[in-house]
Amino acid sequence: MTYAVEFNDVSRLYGDVRAVDGVTIRIRDGEFFSMLGPSGSGKTTCLRLIAGFEQLSGGSIAIFGKDASELPPWERDVNTVFQDYALFPHMTILENVAYGLMVKGINKTTRQAQAREALEKVGLSFAETRKPSQLSGGQRQRVAIARALVNQPRVLLLDEPLGALDLKLREQMQFELKKLQQELGITFIFVTHDQGEALSMSDRVAVFNNGRIEQVDTPHELYLRPRTPFVASFVGTSNVFTDALAQRVCGLSGSYSLRPEHIRLDGEGEIQVQGRVQAVQFQGAATRFELRLAEGEKLLVSQANLTGTTPGTGLEPGQMVTASWARDAMVPLHEEG
């Protein structure tokens, strides 16, 4: 099988700092693949290595089966969309989109036709004579995508492209990006620190931490079956049980993850523990409770707000409650992915 992008034991060093440390990934053709992690985890450096903006310190990168480790950026079948969009303010939208083709020496008639086709794909045909300052943040982002698509890349690299948008627009653009990727059928590699973005759009997600990959999986598997304490706590919210706590509360050996929404406050689960309510936080669709167990450990509980039926409704800080859950809700963790 030929992959869109392959990392084979890739490293990138800055002096003594290993920004990327022995990463191996295989990204499929036509896949929406996200690189998720906190600042400094190595995800953006990996994206820049694919684009050719950074040089490898070790390992190799292949793009559609061809070794790209030494290829300059302009010889790779990829294009990049940056967080700040990098649009020219004095140019029209059509001129911005056609700029890369002009640099390549494509004649005006051809480049304008191709630019109009790219604008149509992102739903901005009406805006070709406007300037970037006359568009909304979401529209400017789509212009940046059209400018990348006009070069007909086989892989589109997106570096935190939604970071500058407000929450509502960010959620809307998540749907639009996924729809566009499915229509085009090309590979999207999306870098983000926002686990909500990664979970909502991706076919698979690689979770980065300290220059390494902790887990590569579907969003569903990442959330329900995290493999390490880092993945459990970074992707969503989780209660991470150390070996000592798991043995005392559950009679289990090893480390475990337990999602707050899998805990009940009606005392009917297999595993039961007493706790004192420390805080109650209404979050709209759910209410979150922070409990303190007998030896001071924190336990987070999330209950869906179903009118008139939500267990725990009316609880206040200071009250004692019984938290319970099914034994199979405990997901075993490993120190390394």
pLDDT digits (tens, 9 = 90+) for 113-157: 999 999 998 889 999 999 999 998 888 888 999 999 998 899 999
Give DSSP secondary structure letters for 164-208: TS-HHHHHHHHHHHHHHHHHH--EEEEEES-HHHHHHH-SEEEEE
Distance CA 141, CA 161 (A): 7
**154-182 mean pLDDT:** 85
Q: Rg of the chain's alpha carbons, rounded to an integer?
A: 24
Report the percent of the chain where pLDDT is more than 90: 73
Q: Which helix (H) or strand (E) holds 224?
A: helix 219-224
Q: How many whole angstroms separate alpha carbon 238 and alpha carbon 261? A: 9
pLDDT exceeds cutoff 80 at 165: no
Residue 143 has what pLDDT? 92
pLDDT for residue 174 is more than 80: yes
Domains and their CATH numbers in the chain: 5-227 (3.40.50.300), 237-332 (2.40.50.140)
pTM of the full predicted structure?
A: 0.90
Kindly report the average pLDDT of the chain as a whole number.
91
Of the pLDDT bands very low, low, confident and very high (cuts 50, 70, 90), residue 336 is low
Per-residue b/e over 145-183, b at no fewer than 16 CB within 10 Å? Answer: bbbbbbbebbbbbbbbbbeebeeebbeebbeebbebbee
